[in-house]
Structures are given as structure tokens and as C-alpha cells.
Structure 1
Amino acid sequence: MLNDRQMTRYQMLLSVQTFLNQHQAIWSGVPILSQVKTSLDDLVLGVHENLKTAGKDVKGLTTQKNQLKEHLAEKTAVLSGALAAYAALSNQPDLEAQATIHKSDIARAKDAELPPRIQAFVELLQANVTHLADYGITEPQINDLMTSLDDFRELIGQPRLKQSAARSAKKEASTLIDEALDLLNNSLDRIMIRFKFSDTNFYDSYTRARVIVD
């Protein structure tokens, strides 16, 4: 989110926006003020939308990914046991070595390592599927593992993308706040001077709304 300095300035912008909304009847007859107010509204809305993006939680995606990894580990372990048993009984030591994957192997593996590893295992299963029926293994089970693998592929990059988007959104929010401050300092404050003598109460209330409380 915003740091303390940025937040106090954003709160001031909201105060000014609210003040102008409440006293529109006084200033609406000045065309340039309407233009500046529209610009302010756009900038404040931009800050708000970027803060929503920056505040989105990636924990939910990470939890979902970890749960899917657990399911992948369980499914792979079951299928591995059957294929390794077939390889051992048919005296195929190379296949047995390739087929032996423990649940803990999947759990400890880095996310990026899993897809190629499980894909290679799936190819072993597909090459030997006709021999695995007696071991309780069917094509739908292999297809189910492939579906879970596809789902995992989609998830593994999303938390990082979300974090990157959040960082970009915070940076953009900060930039928009600076632009809004420039708008007030260089335009709105100067235009509002016209009310300093003609409507003292309105002008004084505006200056109070402009105070930044650090």
C-alpha cells in the first residue's frame, strides 16, 4: 500500500474532492474550475483503482497452488507404485528406476521442476498402459493426472504475476497522487483565489480541506 507520506496526501485529495462536491453550486459557474475538477476526479479515481489492484491478496492463489501440488504428489505416487511394480515383475530395472517417484519427491521439488518431471512420467505410463490394467491403472487415471498437471502449470506463475502487478499499481498510484498535487498547486489553488474576498467562508473552508495532516 501507500507509505504514510503518500497516504496523508491522498487523504487530503479526497477531502478537497468531497469539499468541491458539497459546494458545487458556488464554483460551477467558473468553466475552468469544472475542467480542473474533472481532472482531479479522474486522478483520484485512478489512485483508487490502482490501490485496489495493489491490495489484492496473492495468498489465495498460493494456497490453491500448494493444494494442487499435494494432489499431484498423491496421484503420481499411486501411479508410480503400479508402474514400478510392473517394471520389477517384468525385470525392467531401467523402467523401474524411472517409474519410482515418491510423494515426498513431488512435495520437495521446486514448482518449475514439476511439469517436465511429471510429463516424462506420464509418457512412461502411456507407453505401458496396456500392461497396467492388472495393476488397477486405467487411461482415465492417467488423463486425470495430465489435467491436474495442466492446472498446476497455469497456477505456478500467477502469484508472481500478481505481485508484479501490485508493485506496478502502487507505483502508478504514487505517480497519480503527485500529478494531482501538481494540479492543486499550479491550477486549483490559484483559481480559487477569486473567492478569497468574494466568499471568505468558502475560501477558508477550501484552505482547511487543503491541509495535509502529517
Structure 2
Amino acid sequence: MKRSTANKLNMYESVHAVLTDHQSSWQTVPAFASAVTTFETKLNLLRARLVEQLGATTGVSMEKNLRTEDLRKRMLVMQNALFLLGRASNELQLQERNHLSKSDLIHMKLNEFAARCTELKGDLTTYGTQLAAYGITQQAIDELIPLLSGIDELNNSTRKAIIKRKSITKAIADLEQELNELLRVELDRLILVFRESEPPFYQSFESARITINYGGGGTRPQGTDPLSP
């Protein structure tokens, strides 16, 4: 969650707490009651979207990290064997393709890593039967081939999760805008009705409307005071 969103959420929650505490003051004013209902609906939607945002990429990212870490370890063993085979047979291109370190694999971009998986799969298909002398069993090769083939599916899952998160982030921004407008245009005006008749309610609401920037100061959003010029 962005810091700005967290700051706004704290303000929304403070306003909601004040409205709940002083329900007896406003529930008989239809316009105010209607605005509160809308505010609560949008706040609940914002809470739900924030939960979705948190989980949108977490599970996919964890799975991707676990699978790619295991894949890199297996790839490194195969690459070393293929490099030594290329060196022994004087096949320079085979050596060149398989000289990468674990660090090289870690720092590859997704498309580069996928291309490397395809390349290694080709080398194993061509030279796999010659790797027994380097301690590589056919079973190890057979286990690795499907993992190399599955990297595109894993990358697609990651991309889809990122796209979904972007969509949720856009929905959060829209809800923030709607909540800000509802507060500024309706509730900030309607609360003036209670300034004289219900001063504790009015003062609590005004205090709740301050957005506190943790790490900075507290400000009321510009233009929210209907009495300001």
C-alpha cells in the first residue's frame, strides 16, 4: 500500500469512527444519513480492494521465486557438465552457451531467462546421452526438461498477476477520488448544521478530517473547508 493511500485510509477510518460514535446526532437528517451510507459503502469497497491488492501478486511471486530458485540450481549442474563436455570435445559454442554462473542466471530478465531455458533444453536433447561421464543421470535430465518447458507458463502467470494488480490499483485510486469528493462536496458542508447544536460532533469530525502524513505533518486537504475563500 502506498503511503499516501495509508494516510488517506487513516483519515477515512477516523471519520467513520466519529460518524459511528455520533449516529444519534445525524440519523434524523436524511441528506446526512444518505451521505454517510454512501461513504460507508465506498469505504468498505476500498478496504476490500486493498486486501485484493496485497494478495494479487504475493502468492504468484512466492511460487515464482521458489520454482526459479530450484530451477537455477538444477540448470547450473547441467550447464557445468555441458561446459566440460564442450571443453573436452573442443565444441566452443557449447562451452560458450553453458559458461553462465548462478549469479548470471539470477540477474537475467524474464525473457532472457526463458530463452536460456529453451537453449539449455536443446543442449540436453542433443548432448544428454553424453553426460553420464560427468555424473548426470537420465532421470535428472528427464526431471529437468518439463521444468524448463514450464518457464513460459510461470512467466505468463506473473504477468497476469501484475496486470491484475495494476487494475486493482486503478480501482483504489478511483475510490479514493470518490471518497474525497463525497467528503468535500457533501459531508464537509452538511457538518456545518451541527456546529452550534452538536459542537462535540462537529469538532470531532473536523479533527478527523485532518490527513496525517506519518513522517511529516498533518493537513486538511485544500478546499475541504466550505467556509474557506
Q: TM-score when scaled to structure 1?
A: 0.65
* 1:101 maps onto 2:98 in alignment: yes
The CA deviation at 1:108 is 1.5
How far did 1:159 drift? 8.4
Aligned residue for 2:3, secondary structure, equals: coil
Figure out how many residues of one structure are paired with residues of the other and give that number: 207
Tell me by how many angstroms 1:18 deviates: 0.6
Q: Structure 1 residues 149 and 156, CA, compared in 2 at 3 Å: closer, same or farther?
A: farther
Contact persistence 1:125–1:142 (CA under 8 A)? yes
Aligned 8 A contact 1:58 1:159 in 2: no
Counterparts in 2 of 1:48-197, with a 5 A limit?
48-52=47-51, 69=68, 71-83=70-82, 93-94=90-91, 97-98=93-94, 101-104=98-101, 107-109=103-105, 110-111=108-109, 112-132=111-131, 136-150=135-149, 152-153=151-152, 154=154, 158=158, 162=162, 165=165, 169=169, 172-197=171-196
> Sequence identity of aligned pairs in percent?
24
Instruction: State how far apart, in whole Å, the 2-side matches of 1:70 and 1:40 are.
Output: 46
Displacement of 1:41 in angstroms is 1.5
Deviations along 1:148-200, one digit per CA (max 9) or x if unpaired, are 4356541598389649936962x654443332222122222333444445444
Distance 1:70 1:193, change over 3 A: closer
Q: What is the Cα deviation at residue 40 of structure 1? A: 0.9
Match of 2:44 in 1: 45
- Residue identity matched to 2:158: Q
Shift in Å, 1:121: 2.6
Distance 2:174 2:122 in 1: 51
Q: Give the unaligned 5+ runs of structure 2.
A: 212-217, 220-229
**Structure-2 change in CA distance of 1:206 and 1:60 (3 Å):** closer
CA distance in 2, matches of 1:7, 1:83: 52
Query: Larger RCO: Structure 1 or Structure 2 (Cα < 8 Å, ≥ 6 residues apart)?
Result: 1
RMSD of aligned Cα (Å)? 4.3
Q: If the length of structure 2 is used for normalisation, what is the TM-score?
A: 0.62
Which ranges of structure 1 fall in alignment gaps of 5 or more residues?
Answer: none
